[in-house]
Amino acid sequence: MEAAAVAGERAGVFDLARIRADFPILSQKIRGKDLVFLDSGASAQKPRQVIEAMSRLQETGYANVHRGAYFLSESATAAYEAARGAVARFLKAASEREIVFASSSTAAINLVAHSYGSLLKPGQAVVVSEMEHHANLVPWFMLRDRTGIELRICRVTDAGELDLDDLAAKLADGKVGLVAVTHMSNVLGTVTPAAQIARMAHEKGAKLLLDGSQAAVHRAVDMQALDCDFYVFTGHKLYGPTGIGVLWGRLELLEKMPPFLGGGDMIAEVTLAGFLPAPVPARFEAGTPPIVEAIGLHAAIDYVEAIGMAAIEAHERRLVDRAMARFSTLDGITLLGRAQDRGGVFAFALDNAHAHDLATLLDRVGIAVRSGRHCAEPLHARFGVESTCRASFGLYTTEAEVDFLAEALGKAREFFR
């Protein structure tokens, strides 16, 4: 990040104008209108620092990693492993060996479901919740169908919070091997009490996986403080590239887990009689890894750390407060979830309007929101809503954009009346 922006943050100033200038796409016009990008929860925009870091590697330093004794390969390998170190620092992990690169957070959850899931014993159960993204539901359905483990679903309250009393009931018999829940809902914006959930799970002998795909973007995450056992997040929501996700796992658990995919780089030895898996984390990184993407993720982490995760969280807290105040004045708008601890994600429905029609109308004035069920069909069913529009904030979102969305929704209400 540029020195001026870093200096501004050190002086306690969140320099939003400078931050927005780092994102080339934000200067675009959409049908002659200023772009108001409110779909960062699906995939965030990329600062030029990330774009340039990836281009620089491909132009001057690209080679395959872990495979060559020549200069380019060795330097690319060093850069790739430096990215692993940056992730470990970002998560406050105890060791770089606890960081496994995957193609996405979806792939990381599937890795745990397949590999750690194979260690669950007959009669054990996995607990998920009603507010999960399909990526944290379907792999557990697949595990249940494959192995016969029980899948228990924890309820969500009317306020959109995890029902901790129901979670306690689901854990009570001591048969749960793993709890897998979101750290922040991609629909409700709810931030779950992760450390409390970890204590509840551990007291009953269960491990905890947190899906941090949304949370890791908006606030500092500390693996030691959260006390979970697995944590996943993805690069493209953290202002980095697509094609790379992260699994953090406690080293003692990862070392017990069998490989997920087979191929090159995940082996220590191969003969015609069989193979020996490589040590962790290589054991879980079969094939040519996402080299350029790892460099992009490293640049993205450097970018947000230079601004400061506390500063980002404070900025987005102001946006959330403003949005909640504006939504409260809008008649005919149903907002899903009103949790006390929430991030910058708002799913809403407008009376007499289908979500896709509302999103199309907003697009005409330059506002980009997602419409549909946001890969969370059971959650929409829980609240009796067919589909919603979702506005999700990033570090570049402004209070003026929040106001513009509210004004546009007011006009849309009259249009669909």
Q: How many Å apart are CA 390 and CA 400, to the nearest integer?
A: 18
Phi, psi values for residue 353, rounded to 5°? -130, 130
**Residue 173 corresponds to which tokens in the numbers above?**
């018999």
E strand segments, 238-310: 245-249, 267-271, 274-277
The confidence band for 148, taking pLDDT boundaries of 50, 70 and 90, is very high
Q: Could you say which architecture CATH assigns to the domain 16-41+308-416?
A: Alpha-Beta Complex (3.90)
CATH of 51-305, one of 3.40.50.620, 3.10.129.10, 3.40.50.2000, 3.40.640.10: 3.40.640.10
Is residue 375 annotated as a catalytic residue, yes or no? Answer: yes
pLDDT digits (tens, 9 = 90+) for 161-194: 999 999 999 999 999 999 999 999 999 999 999 9
Q: How many Å apart are CA 106 and CA 133, to the nearest integer?
A: 10
The confidence band for 142, taking pLDDT boundaries of 50, 70 and 90, is very high
Asked if 160 and 379 count as a contact pair (C-beta separation under 8 A), the reply is no
Q: What integer is the mean pLDDT of 125-149?
A: 98
Phi, psi values for residue 29, rounded to 5°? -105, 140
Catalytic-role residue among 154, 228, 375, 389 = 375
Query: Shortest CA distance to 149 belongs to which of 114, 181, 110, 117?
Result: 117
The confidence band for 311, taking pLDDT boundaries of 50, 70 and 90, is very high
Confidence (pLDDT) at 347:
98
The domain segmentation of the chain, as residue ranges, is 16-41+308-416, 51-305
What percent helix, strand, coil does the chain show, rounded to 5? 45, 20, 35
Per-residue b or e along 378-414, where b marks 16 or more CB atoms closer than 10 Å to that residue's CB: bbbebbebebbbbbbbbbbbeeebbebbbebbbebbe
AA identity, residue 215: A
Query: Shortest CA distance to 187 belongs to which of 390, 395, 405?
Result: 390
Cβ within 8 Å of residue 170, ≥6 positions away? 125, 127, 152, 154, 176
Q: What integer is the mean pLDDT of 309-321?
A: 97
Q: What integer is the mean pLDDT of 223-242?
A: 99
Counting Cα atoms < 13 Å in the Cβ hemisphere of 172 gives: 8
**pLDDT at residue 9 tops 90:** no
Tell me the residue length of the chain: 417
Cβ within 8 Å of residue 248, ≥6 positions away? 87, 91, 93, 98, 99, 100, 223, 230, 231, 232
Confidence (pLDDT) at 417:
82
Cβ within 8 Å of residue 154, ≥6 positions away? 127, 128, 129, 130, 162, 163, 166, 167, 170, 181
Alpha carbon separation from 258 to 75, 99, 166 (Å, rounded): 30, 16, 32
